Amino acid sequence: MLSHLPSSVRKICVHTGNILNLNEVKKKAGQNPTDELIESLRITLANWQPSSDGGDTIQVYRMEDELVSKLDSEERKGLKVSVKVFISSLKKEALIEALNSVFNALHIICIDSLVLAYPCKTESSRLLPGLKELWEVLEEYVEQQKLLSIGVSDVETDVFIALYDWAKIKPSIIQINLASCCVVPPALQVFTKEHDVQLLTHSDPFEILPRAALNDLFGSHPDNGLNSVELHWALRFQVHVKCRGVLSSKGYLLSVLRSPGKRERSVASLIETAKP
């Protein structure tokens, strides 16, 4: 894919649309979230219809997706929209971009439930300050009535309690992965029960989209000196019909940053040096 893009493009935003309409995905029901994401991206990129903002960003949508019209046809008050954001850094700009992207993509003004996931093995003392900055972003969206409930995923008990005690708007959800945790920490169980926090389990891998899969999907060959890509953020949205509890729509959005490889940088450097 990268070989077909102008060298000026430095960011690629992909919207899979409603993957419940994809037969290839439905046939593989039960696959883990990473495999589901990879399959959805593969289909989207194979039939991509790019839209450029005229600058360094390109938008990729799946052709013939009816997600927006389907959401518009349903009474919004009868739908519950849930989002989980996977960010690759503690920079609040990435989170803001992800949130604004999902609002625009789904043509909605409010998300019922949002969970923030940051796959990091950073020590608690270093992780908490970054989480606080991100949490302040979420609090602003809650105050603007764009988010109704907010939570976090896969943080240590002491980090969650510290975040809860500090936050102006308290997290109402915490997700843990039992595959890596096995047993819910007793201290976390007690705390969530006492403070009326939803304690939920999930099956998302620690790294939602591994670098090898990312390189394969976008045709990146950094080892050969060609341009490379890295995941900026990804998110999964789910839309349920409240009265029936039926999942009506599901999909992914992600942002990928593209940077020139060693060979490209060398050529650019030679050109710059040759200038009078």
pLDDT at 100: 97
Note whether 72 and 107 are within 8 A (CB): yes
Considering only CA atoms, which of 58, 2, 46, 1 is closest in space to residue 261?
2
DSSP sequence for 132-155 = HHHHHHHHHHHHTTSEEEEEEES-
Structure tokens at 212: 């090898």
Span 177-192, pLDDT tens digits? 877 667 888 999 999 9
pLDDT at 152: 97
* Residue 200: pLDDT over 70: yes
Higher pLDDT, 51 or 21: 21
- Looking at the chain, how many residues does it have? 276
* Residue 6: pLDDT over 90: no
Higher pLDDT, 241 or 140: 140
Provide the β-strand partners of residue 231: 256
Where is average pLDDT lowest: 2-11, 156-165, 198-207, 242-251?
2-11
pLDDT at 228: 81
* Residue 14: pLDDT over 60: yes
**Residue-wise over 107-139: b if at least 16 C-beta within 10 A, else e?**
ebeebbbbbbbbebeeeeeebbebbeebbebbb
Span 36-78, pLDDT tens digits? 999 999 999 887 766 665 678 888 887 766 666 556 655 777 8
Alpha-helical regions (H) of 32-185: 33-46, 67-73, 92-106, 124-143, 157-166, 178-181
Where is average pLDDT lowest: 17-26, 91-100, 163-172?
17-26
Cα separation of 97 and 100, whole Å?
5
Q: How many helices and strands in the chain, by DSSP H and E?
A: 10, 10
pLDDT at 122: 67
Structure tokens at 46: 């194979």
Considering only CA atoms, which of 50, 40, 38 is closest in space to residue 4?
50
Per the prediction, the chain carries an average pLDDT of 84
Structural domains of the chain, ranges and CATH numbers in brackets: 2-274 (3.20.20)
Reported in sequence order, the residue ranges of 139-197 that DSSP labels E, i.e. its strands, are 147-153, 173-177
Cα separation of 118 and 127, whole Å?
10
Structure tokens at 29: 């029901």
pLDDT at 272: 41
Label residue 112 by pLDDT band (50, 70, 90). very high
Amino acid found at 143: E
pLDDT at 271: 33
Span 211-269, pLDDT tens digits? 999 999 988 766 555 568 899 999 999 999 888 889 989 999 999 998 765 544 443 34
DSSP 74: S
Structure tokens at 19: 């993957």
pLDDT at 198: 97
Distance (Å) of CA 120 to CA 88, 131, 157, 212, 232 = 8, 11, 15, 18, 14
* Residue 274: pLDDT over 60: no
pLDDT at 19: 92
* Residue 172: pLDDT over 90: yes
Label residue 29 by pLDDT band (50, 70, 90). low
